[in-house]
Amino acid sequence: MNNKDTGLHVQGQSVFTGDLNLPEHSLFAAVFTAPYAHGKITQIDYRDAEKMDGVVRVLTARDIPGINQIGNVVADEPLLAEEEFTYIGQPIALVLAESHKIAQKALAQIQISYEKLPVITDPREAYQKGNIIGEERVFSCGDILAQNECAFLFEGRVDSGAQEHLYLETQVAIAIPVEKGKIKIVCSSQSPTAVQHAVAVVLGLSENCVESEVLRLGGGFGGKESQASTWAALAALGAFRTNRAVKLTLPRKTDLIVTGKRHPYSSDFRIGLDKNLKIIYFEVMYYQNAGAYTDLSGSVLERTLFHATNSYFIPNVKVKAVSCRTNLAPNTAFRGFGGPQAMFVIESAIYEAARQLQAPAYRIQQANIIAAGQRFPYGMKMQENNAKACFDETLRKYDFEKKLQEAKGFNAQNKFLKKGISVMPVCFGISFTTTFLNQASSLVHIYTDGSIGISTGAVEMGQGVNEKIRKIAALTLGVSVDRIRTETTNTTRIANISPTAASTGTDLNGNATLLACQEIKNRLLCFLPTFTGQGSESDYAIVEEQVLYQKQAIGLDWNQLVINAYLSRISLSSHAFYATPGISFDLKSEKGSPFAYHVCGTAIIQVTADCQKGTYVIDSVEVIHDTGASIDPTIDMGQMEGGIVQGIGWITMEEVLHSKDGRLITNTLSTYKIPDILFSPKKISVHFLEAFDPSKGVLGAKATGEPPLMYGIGVYFALLNAARAFRPELIVPYSAPMTHEKFLMMLYDNPSCVSNVG
Ligand code: MTE
Ligand code: QUE
Ligand code: MOS
């Protein structure tokens, strides 16, 4: 029997970390965190907490046997704050108690005294004060003087907000002392190896003394890539100090406050066009709000630069980016990883040019779509013509011109209800831009009854990677997918695992599995001539669980083949390694070919806005998307729909608000709203491009995880078009999210509104 996730979910049978039975005498942990955004600790007093009934111990940084450090790219982040804290929610102490409730209750009994220090929440202010992380990065190509030859030059400012991951399952970890000096962690992480590493550093153990296991996640979306390590390391610390198993679960509100989000950005752009609407110059300065520690901000910033020009070819480019340190929870990976922020800027620049030129934005988009052979600013050649194919096909298939005409008619007949339409192309590079991360391993076992177990480094978080891996193995071995289980992700079975991230989960782990299965299959085929006494290995094939000899069934099925291979002492296990070929990037010149390929597509978005109330509905999102030869179209369609709605949430209604002193205001699900079924588009229509390149990804299937999120950005521009159908003279802001309130204020409290309608 296989273990298909969706089937288990709907029957309530899937097991998450929080569902596991705990060992006897387990303890429960709660985290005491910084009450203010920046301060120097003068005293912590937890005596009252330790006196409470059921409280076993309170631990602080002084109890850490190894190194108090969890920064996995730059070592700048303590597990527990020692002298200074730099954001509200930063862990300071750990309470261990006989129940979750008691541990939570004991937090109120901890007293902290501190001196207040200055708080910065704005990235531009941090930049001005020299508070930056790493160096400013610049990607450039062509000639900066080209801006002087532009017929038109426009500039503007673009802001985009944070986004809360809102995985259904909050952060959770269980640490179990195994044997003297060894510890096992089961937790909800996209990166079991990062957990293993953090625990080893914090406890002063070697990595072979830390077993890290992940069953599956109730959603990750990037929020459990680096930031699951903290809770695992804290649970491990508790287990190490008490020699009892420790479970740490973050309550939802705590999770919202203490974990980082998508990076907000503030950017200044300049865009230059010639008379034929060709973009000949593009310049941006991106200020990234990194929060208090480095985390993955450098890689996110880099991905922003890689996506500065989205789906367009621009010959002269200078884009600069800087990561700014502020007193907010460290921001982190979130689906798209800096790409959406970059795309919002270039699309805003195009829209601004269109507004000033009184030309439709889609004409500018269309005139500049990147073609095969043209280069991105970082030197890589576009390999395919899929960006253009998707753009043109979308306009044709969904009757774009007719849609525009109908909206025009509708808008002429309605005073307050206005339709807006936009086109949103997306071109997203697939691979970790940190080249060494593009590696994976797979361990395949065939048991003597013919059933199959597969271990890889992939973490199942709802994206369907396990089902795709099963299908790849089934296709390769010639057996039914029902025979195949995918096992938990565990560092003792697969070592040195890259995070399941950057949409590469299936490409990397699927290709490693393909290689492992091919190896076993070759052994079986080589065994057949001796076993049957006829022909050579190339005469044999395994198709639908039957052995074929010269394409004819010979009455030997999979089970018989496997048991006989075993009896003849043929190995039925294989471990294989895959590394993405042909990718590289040089940090000195900022040039290279960091991506295996690009995933492209185009969406048409239509909205209807009520310009009296400021409310709006999303009528439709219609997409042509190049996902190659999909391994599982149902899963990919789910990724498309989910990604689109998540992107719409970011650009419209998901507003993360902090007070000036760094306190999260939207710290409940009543103040932080994500799209529900009523807000979601009335219609989402996705077609996969038919003319694709079969050499990409795994078995011709391209990654699907992150790219669809960015189609959601188009809703912003559809809303601006609706607003300008109501007030043609409107000078529009480029500031997401465009909440209903903001939409209303834009129409009625805007200096560009001279007439007084309504
Ligand atoms: N889909 C679901 N249901 N849940 C998730 O947490 N994460 C997204 C995307 N789709 C996510 C998801 C992110 S951020 C990434 S990088 C990819 O899935 C990771 O999985 P893949 O590489 O296997 O596509
Ligand atoms: C996209 C990503 C990631 C990335 C680069 C991308 C990512 C990630 C890292 C990363 C970088 C350096 C490290 C590390 C991780 O880079 O998710 O541990 O040392 O974790 O283009 O999604
Ligand atoms: Mo996805 S943001 O790369 O986890």
User: Which CATH number is correct for 265-432+589-756, 3.50.50.60, 1.10.287.130, 3.30.365.10, 3.90.1200.10?
Assistant: 3.30.365.10
Between the CA of 743 and the centroid of ligand 2 the distance, in Å, is 35
Residue position matching structure tokens 């300049």: 270
pTM score > 0.85 for this model?
yes
**Given ligand 2 and candidates 437, 496, 508, 597, which is best to mutate, with the most ligand atoms within 8 Å of its CB?**
437
Among 710, 711, 696, 684, which residue's Cα sits nearest to residue 627?
696
Between the CA of 503 and the centroid of ligand 3 the distance, in Å, is 7
How many Å apart are CA 592 and CA 314, to the nearest integer? 17
Q: Which atom of ligand 3 is nearest to the CA of 225?
A: 4
Evaluate: CB of 304 within 6 angstroms of ligand 2: no
Q: Are 486 and 460 in contact (CB under 8 A)?
A: yes
Evaluate: CB of 334 within 6 angstroms of ligand 3: yes
CATH number of 4-118+165-258: 3.90.1170.50
Q: Kindly name the residue from 302, 706, 729, 741 that is annotated as catalytic.
A: 706
CA 595 and chain centroid, separation? 16
Evaluate: CB of 501 within 6 angstroms of ligand 3: yes
How many Å apart are CA 46 and CA 51, to the nearest integer? 9
How far, CA to CA in Å, does 503 sit from each of 122, 568, 639? 30, 41, 11
Phi, psi of 287 (to 5 degrees): -105, 115
Handedness of CA 628, 629, 630, 631 (dihedral sign): negative
Q: Which atom of ligand 2 is nearest to the CA of 191?
A: 20
Q: Are 57 and 96 in contact (CB under 8 A)?
A: yes
Evaluate: CB of 318 within 6 angstroms of ligand 1: no
Atom 3, ligand 1: which residue's CA is nearest?
462
Three-state DSSP class for residue 599: strand
Q: Per DSSP, what are the bridge partners of residue 701?
A: 628, 698
**Given ligand 3 and candidates 165, 188, 225, 710, which is best to mutate, with the most ligand atoms within 8 Å of its CB?**
225
Given this model, what pLDDT does residue 741 score? 96
If residue 367 lies in a helix (H) or strand (E), which one and from where to where?
Answer: helix 361-368
Atom 14, ligand 2: which residue's CA is nearest?
73
Given this model, what pLDDT does residue 3 score? 85
Q: Which atom of ligand 3 is nearest to the CA of 706?
A: 1
**Given ligand 2 and candidates 299, 305, 331, which is best to mutate, with the most ligand atoms within 8 Å of its CB?**
299
Evaluate: CB of 504 within 6 angstroms of ligand 1: yes
Between the CA of 502 and the centroid of ligand 2 the distance, in Å, is 7
Q: Are 199 and 183 in contact (CB under 8 A)?
A: yes
Among 260, 248, 236, which residue's Cα sits nearest to residue 77?
260
Q: Which atom of ligand 1 is nearest to the CA of 504?
A: 22
Q: Are 489 and 214 in contact (CB under 8 A)?
A: yes
How many Å apart are CA 266 and CA 157, to the nearest integer? 7
How many Å apart are CA 335 and CA 355, to the nearest integer? 30
How far, CA to CA in Å, does 570 sit from each of 295, 322, 531, 576? 47, 56, 12, 17
What are the residue ranges spanned by the domains of the chain? 4-118+165-258, 265-432+589-756, 439-579
505-532 and 558-567 helices cross at what angle (nearest 10)? Answer: 70
Given this model, what pLDDT does residue 28 score? 99
CA angle 359, 603, 501 (to 5 degrees): 125
Tell me, yes or no, if the two domains 265-432+589-756 and 439-579 fold the same way: yes
Between the CA of 464 and the centroid of ligand 2 the distance, in Å, is 21
Non-local CB neighbours of 642 within 8 Å, separated by 6+ positions: 708
Among 114, 468, 76, which residue's Cα sits nearest to residue 294?
76
User: And the tokens for 459?
Assistant: 């973490």
CA angle 267, 271, 272 (to 5 degrees): 165
Given this model, what pLDDT does residue 753 score? 56
How far, CA to CA in Å, does 264 sit from each of 64, 289, 341, 651, 716? 33, 5, 8, 12, 16
Question: Using omega within 30 degrees of 0 as the cis cutoff, is the peptide bond preceding 675 cis?
Answer: no
Q: Are 292 and 330 in contact (CB under 8 A)?
A: yes
Torsion of the alpha carbons at 8, 9, 12 and 16, rounded to the nearest 10:
90
Atom 16, ligand 1: which residue's CA is nearest?
501
Q: Which fold has domain 439-579?
A: Aldehyde Oxidoreductase; domain 4 (3.30.365)
Between the CA of 384 and the centroid of ligand 1 the distance, in Å, is 25
Catalytic, 24? Answer: no
Atom 8, ligand 1: which residue's CA is nearest?
221
Neighbours of 335 (CB within 10 A): 26
Q: Are 106 and 92 in contact (CB under 8 A)?
A: no
Between the CA of 220 and the centroid of ligand 1 the distance, in Å, is 7
If residue 255 lies in a helix (H) or strand (E), which one and from where to where?
Answer: helix 252-258
Atom 12, ligand 1: which residue's CA is nearest?
463
Between the CA of 213 and the centroid of ligand 2 the distance, in Å, is 20
Length of the chain: 758
> Mind listing the pLDDT tens digit for each residue in 485-521?
999 999 999 999 999 999 999 999 999 999 999 999 9
Q: Which atom of ligand 1 is nearest to the CA of 335?
A: 14
Q: For the chain, which residues score pLDDT lower than 50?
A: 754-758
The half-sphere exposure of 42 on its side-chain side, counting CA atoms within 13 A, is 5
> String of b and e for 90-114 (b: at least 16 CB within 10 Å)?
bbbbbbbbeebebbbbbbebbebeb
Q: Which ligand is nearest to the CA of 221?
A: 1
How many Å apart are CA 677 and CA 85, to the nearest integer? 40
How many Å apart are CA 661 and CA 665, to the nearest integer? 11
How far, CA to CA in Å, does 239 sit from each of 97, 180, 181, 521? 12, 12, 11, 44
CA 296 and chain centroid, separation? 12
Evaluate: CB of 225 within 6 angstroms of ligand 3: yes
